[in-house]
């Protein structure tokens, strides 16, 4: 009986591991027509410290958004919300434009050379160029 339980438990663990979504290899993108911003401007634009490049964001509770802030800015979702709450309350900034999906982000960034965004590396095409890889 213990062997059946152990085998069943192992199968459940394996199934749970396989069911976890694979982490995307996120890259920071700009329009193919844009100049490459300095690396320090990436995080600064997403945290309201500079207006250009103009950031585009995915909705809250999106795994790619959380991964982006963790890798690019070393911030968790609560820290990001706190920063933006203070900026909005004091009139010190406007949060990044939000789009529904990475596909919408790519379209928005590709259409405007002043925009910056992040998507899975596998979704990059000629309309955008990579300015940073977030490992």
Tell me how many helices (H) and strands (E) the chain has.
5, 5
Residue 77 lies in a domain: yes
Tens of pLDDT along 20-48? 455 679 999 999 999 999 999 999 999 99
Give the residue numbers spanning the domain of 60: 23-134
Residue 112 lies in a domain: yes
Supply the pLDDT for residue 22: 54
How far apart are the C-alpha atoms of 9 and 14, rounded to whole Å? Answer: 9
The count of structural domains within the chain is 1
Supply the pLDDT for residue 20: 41
Tens of pLDDT along 62-121? 999 999 999 999 999 999 999 999 999 999 999 999 999 999 999 999 999 999 999 999
Residue 14 lies in a domain: no
Supply the pLDDT for residue 13: 39
Residue 71 lies in a domain: yes
Strand, helix or coil for residue 31:
strand
Supply the pLDDT for residue 55: 98
Supply the pLDDT for residue 6: 43
Supply the pLDDT for residue 68: 97
User: How much is the pTM?
Assistant: 0.82
Output the domain CATH number for residue 84: 3.40.190.10
Residue 6 lies in a domain: no
Q: Which of 134, 49, 58 is nearest to 84 (CA)?
A: 49
Residue 12 pLDDT > 70: no
Mean pLDDT of the chain: 87
Residue 27 lies in a domain: yes
Residue 119 lies in a domain: yes
- In percent, the amount of the chain with pLDDT more than 90 equals 80
């Amino acid at each position: 009986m213990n062997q059946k339980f152990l085998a069943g438990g192992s199968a459940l663990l394996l199934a749970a591991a396989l069911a976890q979504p694979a982490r995307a290899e996120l890259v920071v993108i700009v329009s193919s027509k844009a100049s490459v911003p300095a690396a320090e401007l990436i995080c600064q634009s997403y945290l309201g410290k500079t207006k250009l490049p103009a950031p585009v964001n995915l909705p809250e509770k999106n795994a790619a958004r959380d991964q982006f802030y963790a890798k690019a800015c070393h911030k968790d979702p609560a820290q990001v919300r706190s920063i933006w709450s203070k900026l909005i309350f004091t009139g010190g900034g406007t949060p990044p434009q939000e789009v529904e999906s990475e596909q919408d982000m790519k379209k928005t960034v590709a259409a405007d050379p002043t925009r910056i965004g992040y998507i899975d590396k596998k979704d990059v095409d000629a309309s955008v160029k990579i300015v940073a890889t977030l490992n």
